[in-house]
Amino acid sequence: MPESNQHNPGKAADPDHHSLGQHPLLASLGDAMPLREMSQDQLTDVAAEVRDVLCNLLATRTAHFASNLGVVELCLALHCEFDFREDRLVWDTGHQIYPHKLVTGRYHDFPSIRTQGGLMGYPNPAESPYDLFMTGHAGCSVSTAIGLRSGDVLMKQPGRKSVAVIGDGAFPSGIVFEALNNAGELDDDLTIVLNDNKMSICHRVGAVASYLDKLRVNPFYSGLKSEVVKLLDHVPMFGDPAERFLAQMKEGVKAGLLGGMLFEELGIRYVGPIDGHDVGLMRKYLKMARESSGPMLLHVVTEKGHGYKPAAEDPVYFHTPPAFTNVDATEETAPKSDGNPPYTLHARDAIRRKMTTNDKVTIITAAMCQGNKLEPVREQFPDRFFDVGICESHAVAFAAGQCKTGMRPIVDIYSTFLQRSYDQIFQEVALQDLPVVFMLDRAGLTGPDGPTHHGLFDIGYMRVFPNMVCMAPGYASELEPMLDFALDHDHPTSIRYPKASALELDHAPAKVEIGKSETLREGKDGTIVAFGAILDQALEAAQRLEGELDIQVINARFVKPIDHEMVKQVVESGNFVITAEEGARMGGFGSALLESAVEQRLDTRMITVLALPDEFIHHGDRGDLLDQHGLSCAAIMQACRDQACLNPVCNS
């Protein structure tokens, strides 16, 4: 396999580089069917072309990288042995979808991936019949594959096969074991490919990871497997008594070496470990799975970043690296930034300071240590840092248990992933009125990651719970005071913040008091009430309207409880009121303000709600998406002008 000196990311900037001459095999694929007729040498060439495309992509933008390099041969083997125009394939999670897209007719569109209007960085059924689910959250592939198989049988199409590809990082998710329990009971045809690269986004954690390590490194079993494979090369693949004897012997040895055999005891045949970078070997086992009956788990061992030396050596950094300009990935393309640190770093530093001064504070994350920038916290406080893997429901219930003992846990999880623990937020935290602090990173638009990752719904799904207090900082220096408030508050709290540079104000934050907003700018013509980081755009809009309109800007801080006195004051002024938030309109901050106004029997006709519409927002640059949906500075300015023209006080 070529090392890094075979790839030149810098060439991707030239549109002619992505051409028939550069990648002739990929360019010729209208769909995946020609792969089935290719020789082993041709498939090796296709794999090299795929890796070249992936490496060149890094010259143009950040993208999921190491995980895609690791599944190239697995992807080719799957498409060689199954016809996924009819058979079913679910990738879990979908960020390893790039090779699949390249061999299913999307090579010529691939330069557009993760750009607005271009290919999505995750599976997208709107792009291709080869994509069945928009899988951006981990763990659900086995469940959906079982459902697909069940539906095909009921629809009298039993010949259609179902395959779920799931990584070892996602495998400990609770829903996976719910699905395995069901699969073993149904005993229907199903192939589960466990892609074991010893990684999640960061290094995986937990007992399941240790169990897989034992399966993978057991020298006696691995050696025996190799001998069985050699013998299988000389006997008919199916039906032959010798093959059946070998299979029975193999299963017996596994049971003797590895005790109860977790998968076998669940009624799922276990096969492996298999070298995931040997296309021929994988084709042999995938063919066996396709022609066998009942559920089967193929344990495939791959290397994250395979074929590109820097990514293989540092797969954590190269999970979603910045764009690079040279072959050795040592010179980064400068990212677009206003120079301010992101909210994530401010949150991390605030958490670290709280843990330094209060030994009852713990931090819990769900396989997102790197995404939440918590590595320094993990190093400094290993006894109070808990990474539970991709198990958000467990993370929240675990935090509730710690609370009962007198600890003060902080649950630091992306907004979009915290949804997975909704029942535990309800039952174990809010219902028990336990002071768990939820830090909701990536709340708002996440740019090129798209609809599976935008954190648009947490305002609505958190504020409905009794006992819950919901906050959002509008600028950098008030995040830590909010965390101070949350840790002193004897009820559950949530703090949301986006994947964005934090607004820096030359301003000392007012004391954070429950349900109290902060007025940052006075004005007599109208008011913008901003909840969260959209305050940046609101303040800029008010400033640029100087001389045209005199706009008051209020930093709401709380959506629950909302500042009812503030609502009464701004609505009774007779001027227009515009609410702004980077979240879904339904159930959001604007809805909360309207609810407050109605409860106080105020006239709501001059209230305008600026929020994201009732639809799933596609991927694109955050600034462009804000503009497209009426939340940029320019859009807020125009909303102020429009409302001023309708204001009878202004017109008089």
In this prediction, residue 451 carries a pLDDT of 85
In this model, does residue 231 exceed pLDDT 90?
A: no
How confident is the model over 304-321, as a mean pLDDT? 62
Q: How confident is the model at residue 582 (pLDDT cuts 50, 70, 90)?
A: very high
Q: How confident is the model at residue 136 (pLDDT cuts 50, 70, 90)?
A: confident
CA–CA separation, 578 and 161 (whole Å): 53
In this prediction, residue 225 carries a pLDDT of 47
Over the chain, what is the mean pLDDT?
A: 82
User: Are the C-beta atoms of 26 and 102 separated by less than 8 Å?
Assistant: yes
Taking alpha carbons only, the member of 462, 489, 339, 482 closest to residue 403 is 489
pLDDT by residue (tens digit) across 263-308?
777 788 888 788 888 888 889 889 988 888 888 888 888 887 666 6
pLDDT by residue (tens digit) across 376-426?
999 999 999 998 888 888 899 899 999 999 999 999 999 999 999 999 899
How confident is the model over 88-103, as a mean pLDDT? 86
Q: Of the given ranges (243-252, 386-395, 469-478), which has the lowest mean pLDDT?
A: 243-252
- 3-state secondary structure at position 43: helix
Higher pLDDT, 449 or 563: 563
Max Cα separation, the chain?
Answer: 96
**Adjacent-strand bridge partners of 408:** 361
Both tokens of 166, joined, read 């799931």
- 3-state secondary structure at position 499: coil
User: Are the C-beta atoms of 435 and 604 separated by less than 8 Å?
Assistant: no
For 594, counting Cβ atoms within 10 Å of its Cβ (0-12 exposed, 13-18 middle, 19+ buried), the class is middle
pLDDT by residue (tens digit) across 511-527?
999 999 999 999 999 99
Which amino acid is present at 35?
L
- For the annotated catalytic residues, the residue numbers are 304, 392, 420
CA–CA separation, 26 and 7 (whole Å): 16
User: Are the C-beta atoms of 435 and 493 separated by less than 8 Å?
Assistant: yes
In this model, does residue 489 exceed pLDDT 90?
A: yes
pLDDT by residue (tens digit) across 610-644?
999 999 999 888 989 999 999 999 999 999 999 98
Taking alpha carbons only, the member of 104, 194, 103, 192 closest to residue 148 is 192
Q: Which residues contact 104 (CB under 8 A, 6 or more apart)?
A: 29, 31, 32, 79, 84, 128, 130
Per DSSP, 426 falls in state: I
How confident is the model over 155-171, as a mean pLDDT? 87
Q: What percent of the chain stands above pLDDT 90?
A: 44
What does the chain come to in residues? 652
Q: Of the given ranges (79-88, 177-186, 358-367, 458-467), which has the lowest mean pLDDT?
A: 177-186
What is the strand order of the sheet 162-167 is part of?
A: 88-92, 162-167, 190-196, 295-301, 269-275
pTM: 0.76
In this prediction, residue 208 carries a pLDDT of 61
